[in-house]
Amino acid sequence: MKIRLCYSSIRPVDAGDLIEDLNDILSKARDFNAKHQIYGVLYYANNAFFQCLEGEEEILNDLMQRIMQDPRHHEINVFKAIEIKRIYFKKWSMKYVQKSSKIDLFFQQLDADGFHPSMLNEDVLPQFVNELLQEKQTKLRRKVGLHQRGINPYL
């Protein structure tokens, strides 16, 4: 049976480098998901994650157990899984959407100051997932700066 399983979590304040964490999460998710026919979206903003996954129930339940052990996720809130007839995120093994003003507006309608996944419930979750479905995928930027680029010591 195909299901949609969504969760939100908080990133620990003392966590490592955000870009490295996001790159790691996305690369591992895309590899695993492509092999197991899992599709979905990841949204990160305001120190919080939201992820929606679609695929076979058994695989997603096992994956959720692994996510719950991941130290990058705290205060995990798993929403009720729903049976789906078709995969909505079929284009993406893992779509990534970065902080968006449209998402902030969605949460402002819920009386939140921007993205706060704690404001989500079973009633508004389908609308939020639809918002993410309509957002463009974001390419994660690589780190740039003094330590990430070549330095010519002769200049």
DSSP 8-state code for residue 90: T
| Residue 151 in domain | no
Residue 61 inside a domain? The answer is yes
What's the pLDDT band for 153 if we cut at 50, 70, 90?
Answer: very low
Sequence length of the chain is 155
| Residue 38 lies in domain | 2-144
Mean per-residue pLDDT, 49-65: 96
Query: How far is the C-alpha of 48 from the C-alpha of 45, rounded, in Å?
Result: 6
Task: Give residue 11's identity as a one-letter amino acid code.
Answer: R
Please compute the mean of the pLDDT values over residues 24-30 and round it to a whole number.
Answer: 91
Burial label for 140, CB within 10 Å (0-12, 13-18, 19+), is: middle
Q: Contact at 8 Å (CB) between 79 and 6?
A: yes
* Domain-located, residue 153: no
Q: Which of 15-29, 50-64, 73-87 has the lowest mean pLDDT?
A: 15-29
Q: In total, how many domains does the chain have?
A: 1
Evaluate whether residue 155 is within a structural domain: no
